[in-house]
A and B are shown apart, each in its own frame.
Chain A
Amino acid sequence: MVDAKTAQTPLPTGYKPEPFDGTATAALQSQYQSVIGSLLYLVLRTRPDLAFAVTQMAKFTHNPSEEHLLKTRHIMCYLTGTRKYALVFDGRSDGGLYAYCDSIYGDDRSDPDCRYRSTQGYYFSLANASVKWHSKMQTLISTSSTMAEYIALSDCAHDCAWYKILFGELRKPMSHVPIYGDSHGAIFNAQNPITQKGIKHIEIRYHYIREQIKKGEVKVFAVPTMENIADMFTKNLGPMLFLKHRKQLGIEFYPL
């Protein structure tokens, strides 16, 4: 793969993998699983930019097709082009801890019995480089994009609470964590404890975000979608936006 063609983004813009109708051969399955295993290793350690692409492809390890394998090659082509990139903690900026949060409504196609679940993604940035990232299919079906976003905000608040505990123990108490999201509806509902028709069915545990806001542990702000960096954890962006967001994650050219 050293001389492979390079790609600008991990997966083609707007690509959505479809489940395979046939049955994969054992050889293909084992090869695919080993490739995904290696890629997941990278995602966990130092490559948040791959998080969405790899978690999407990882849904098909039980029955991959040649097409899926080809797309993992695409991810590797992207890696070839960015082998000199690293997650840089330069420690020069004064940015505190903040989170970006996003979700996409009903995009999942992987499970034939339970399609159209939503995907959520968020990441935490400390001093302008990402320290935690997350891209995951939600475990329940959302009935609206607002609900999907609301659940994502709530899950994000769990991590905020954890960070608060950690920094408290490290003798660096924090005031509150700002969370940036792009859904006005979800932010409105999180800040105002009203029960509307559209959200009355949301499970109690997802109202955790309301309590956290009320206690002043987190503050939620709206940003335009184009500036929401967590967007890259919920869809395959085009090169322009992807490269812009990737820089925000702290992934920079760092030749050794």
Chain B
Amino acid sequence: MNVRDWTSKDIGKLPAEDQRAWCKAQFEELEALKKRNVYELADLPPGRKAIKNCWVFDLKSNGCKKARLVTKGFSQVEGLDFDEIFSPVLWFKSVHTILMLAALEKWKIEGLDVKSAFLYGTLDKELYMEQPQGFKVLGKEHKVLRLKKAIYGLKQATRTWWHELDRSLKALGFSRLYANAGIFIAKHADGTMVIILTYVDDIIVTGPNAAQVASKKKLFMDKWECRDLGECREFLRMRIEY
């Protein structure tokens, strides 16, 4: 069975040594959530239901074990836990067109990957989640977690992340294109520009002026914790060679 199909139960059947390794991965995830200040312990208000959660596991290509806490978005109640969930997405015709422009005008293409992007999304609703499976705080098992930030699996996770991105890119001098809301562009007085393509947490930064691209990229990376992919070689599983 693929690691991605495993549940906590399957982990429990593994030899003790493997169990410890996966448990370590789970602690790392909880640590990351704590660092991002995603939730706090709270009492569940009457009339509300806590959203369920579960663990998903993955083996990265470098052998690294990764565990992620996700909510079960289907247990959210419409109206109470979420309203709007639409989130704009980058079209492939835009990607191809911008890549073609970059090829035509010899632009530099830089890639970025935002780490745990969804955890940046600010929620506009009060959401309550059960404590993580197998990691309940001793003596406070009846309490729930009040979410301060979006978390993977929530119905509105992509939307809140996109809002966050839109807001902060505006602060960095970018404006969203009318033609496709996944493209952001900063125009400079000298006629040059920096273009940012965003497909959820995969980012491409490109533009005619390499220095401007580098400086905007730096600003972006100061704002979010990113993995710098340098010269972009892969975007959405499309290999880019040049």
A residues lining the B interface (CB < 8 Å): 44-46, 86-87, 89-91, 124, 126-127, 129-132, 159, 162-163, 165-166, 169-172, 254, 256
Contact = CB atoms under 8 A, between A and B. Distances in A.
Interface residues of B, number: 26
B99 interface: yes
B30 interface: no
Given A90-B103, A171-B193, A131 B96 contact: yes
Contacts of B99: 89
Contacts of B180: 166
Chain B residues touching A, majority SS:
mixed
B104 A162 contact: no
9 A-B pairs with the lowest CB-CB distances in the bound complex, closest first: A91-B103, A132-B93, A166-B179, A89-B103, A131-B96, A91-B104, A165-B179, A89-B100, A131-B97
Contact of B92 (A45, A127, A129, A169): A45
Interface of B: 92-94, 96-97, 99-101, 103-106, 177-180, 185, 187, 191, 193, 195, 236-239, 241
A217 to B, nearest CB: 15
Given A45-B238, A169-B177, A170-B185, A129 B100 contact: yes
Contacts of B105: 91
Majority secondary structure of chain A interface residues (helix, strand, loop or mixed): mixed
A166 B103 contact: no
A124 B93 CA distance: 9
Contacts of B187: 171
Nearest to B235: A45
A131 B104 CA distance: 13
Contacts of B177: 166, 169
A158 B201 CA distance: 29
A165 B93 CA distance: 13
A127 B179 contact: no
A170 B101 contact: yes
A131 B93 contact: yes
Nearest to A126: B100
Nearest to A97: B97
A169 B185 contact: yes
A223 B148 CA distance: 60
A169 B241 contact: no
Given A126-B97, A166-B179, 18 more contacts: A46-B238, A89-B96, A89-B104, A91-B103, A91-B104, A127-B100, A129-B100, A131-B93, A132-B93, A132-B97, A165-B179, A166-B94, A169-B185, A170-B193, A171-B191, A171-B193, A172-B101, A256-B241
A256 B240 CA distance: 11
A184 B100 CA distance: 32
Contacts of B236: 45
B95 to A, nearest CB: 9
A94 B92 CA distance: 22
A129 B103 CA distance: 11
Contacts of B179: 162, 165-166, 169
Nearest to B177: A169
B178 A131 contact: no
24 contacts: A45-B238, A87-B96, A89-B99, A91-B104, A91-B106, A127-B103, A129-B100, A130-B96, A131-B100, A132-B92, A132-B96, A132-B97, A159-B93, A165-B179, A166-B97, A166-B177, A169-B177, A169-B179, A169-B185, A170-B101, A170-B185, A170-B193, A171-B187, A256-B241
